[in-house]
Structure 1
Amino acid sequence: MPTRSGTGFFFDFSNNLSSKKLIGIITNKHVAKAGTLMALRHSSMGDSTTVPLPNFYKYLVEHPDPNVDLCVSFCCGDLNNTPYDGNVFTYSYDDIPTRDILSKYDDASRILIVGYPEVIIDHSHE
């Protein structure tokens, strides 16, 4: 199977009821279904680190609505004893804007893209 690329982000699903961390990798269903082995690759300033995620599919949960192209894998234990062990940036429920905040933006608002596959080149920001 050919190598494919996609994006995802870490989300902290932990709550105040437990001291345990519950971190998942959120991505698209079509990205998860494109392969049989998932790996995390982080590229920064010319350096690149790839970490296999052997339990990605074991802990994969797809959104129940077939029309929503999202899924999450709770495989972050695969990051133990790697350069990412305890060292990943996560989003959390606190980062999700309220409807009131969202109402202050319109369709013409500028946005910031927070990651995209390496195969996509953004010539205006090179």
Structure 2
Amino acid sequence: MAKELSNKNSNDISVTDLITSATVRIETFGKNGGTGTGFFFDFDPQTPETLDSLVIVTNCHVVDGVQNGQFTLTKKDQNGEQINTEHLTIFLEDFQSHWINHPDDEVDLCILPIKSIKHLIKEDFFYGAFDSSHIPTKQEIENLCAIEEIIMVGYPENIWDDHNNKPIVRKGITATSPRLPYLGYDEFLIDAACFPGSSGSPIIIYNIGQYMDRNENHYFVKYRIILLGILYEGPQYTAEGEIERVPIKKKKIVKTQLPINLGAAINGSKILDFAERLQ
């Protein structure tokens, strides 16, 4: 998998610039307010100029019970280049109502179709977007190693480069095999620093130059991008000595909770279940 992220921007853009332009910081207000992470996904990357197939993906718990919310986009110039220091803030009333939940209520994913709010976006914006080519097939999953290096892109503890509208990139490994459904669910664990605000972060396998599969076959590539999953919760160690699994949306927590650098991620393939709901 060496396909670039889809975009309707300038062609002379590095893949890492696109990865760091694929996320949006989601800020919500009110009783259930906080911050979370969303990212762009394009269900039809052959027609990027319309934005009709472009969505933002995040966790349901990031938007549940929220009255108002907003996210920030980066403007682009006439040549399609990003203007890092010029931004568009898109504010939405009745925020939760704009999102479409996953068909399975047990899957903590939702999407925001850009076409439904396109009238609110007054200027062109720069973005990178994942698409179905970045989601591994069953055969590609079977070829993955039990331990893979991953990166996670998002806004941990509401830390971000607000001057340039850029996220924070973290690095880790798969803590459970991506080939096996953790606890019987379509998810896996990662070993990475997962803090509040990271909910909705894309979990990406990003290899440069070379990689090896589970059968020790060696591949030389320019790069490999796999959208392996979406972070949605992380076990926390409480001051009382208990371990709990909690959503990692930014919010006030009464208990003293300490991250143990593990996170649970939903398989990236679950995004494809939204296709029919976009019709």
TM-score, normalised via structure 2 length: 0.35
Measured at CA, do residues 49 and 5 of structure 1 come closer, stay the same or move farther in structure 2, by a change above 3 Å? Answer: farther
What are the equivalent positions in structure 2 for 1:38-57 lying under 5 Å apart? 38-41=69-72, 49=87, 51-54=89-92, 57=96
What are the equivalent positions in structure 2 for 1:1-126 lying under 5 Å apart? 1=30, 3-14=33-44, 20=50, 21-41=52-72, 49=87, 51-54=89-92, 57-75=96-114, 76-77=117-118, 80-82=121-123, 85-119=124-158
SS in 2 for 1:6: strand
Q: Partners in 2 of 1:78 and 1:6 — Cα distance?
A: 24
Q: Partners in 2 of 1:80 and 1:120 — Cα distance?
A: 25
Deviation at 1:78, TM superposition (A): 5.4
Greater fraction of residues in strand: 2
Structure 2 runs not aligned, ≥5 long? 1-29, 75-83, 161-167, 172-279
Deviation at 1:41, TM superposition (A): 3.2
Deviation at 1:93, TM superposition (A): 1.2
- Is the CA contact 2:90–2:121 (under 8 Å) kept in the aligned structure 1? no
Deviation at 1:115, TM superposition (A): 2.1
- Is the CA contact 2:43–2:132 (under 8 Å) kept in the aligned structure 1? yes
SS in 2 for 1:9: strand
Structure 1 runs not aligned, ≥5 long? none
Choose 24-33 or 54-63, whichever is displaced more.
Answer: 54-63
SS in 2 for 1:105: coil
- Is the CA contact 1:12–1:24 (under 8 Å) kept in the aligned structure 2? yes
Deviation at 1:86, TM superposition (A): 4.4
Deviation at 1:42, TM superposition (A): 6.0
Matched AA of 1:24: V
TM-score, normalised via structure 1 length: 0.70
Deviation at 1:25, TM superposition (A): 0.7
RMSD: 3.5
Structure 1 vs Structure 2: percent identity of aligned residues? 28
Measured at CA, do residues 118 and 40 of structure 1 come closer, stay the same or move farther in structure 2, by a change above 3 Å? Answer: farther
Deviation at 1:16, TM superposition (A): 6.2
Q: Partners in 2 of 1:114 and 1:65 — Cα distance?
A: 25
Measured at CA, do residues 79 and 101 of structure 1 come closer, stay the same or move farther in structure 2, by a change above 3 Å? Answer: farther
- Is the CA contact 1:53–1:78 (under 8 Å) kept in the aligned structure 2? no
Partner of 2:253: none
Deviation at 1:48, TM superposition (A): 8.0
Matched AA of 1:93: S
| Alignment coverage as a number of residue pairs | 119
Could you list the structure 1 runs, at least 4 aligned residues long, displaced by more than 6 angstroms after superposition. none
- Is the CA contact 1:28–1:70 (under 8 Å) kept in the aligned structure 2? yes
SS in 2 for 1:67: coil
Bigger Rg, structure 1 or 2: 2
Matched AA of 2:134: D
Measured at CA, do residues 86 and 47 of structure 1 come closer, stay the same or move farther in structure 2, by a change above 3 Å? Answer: closer
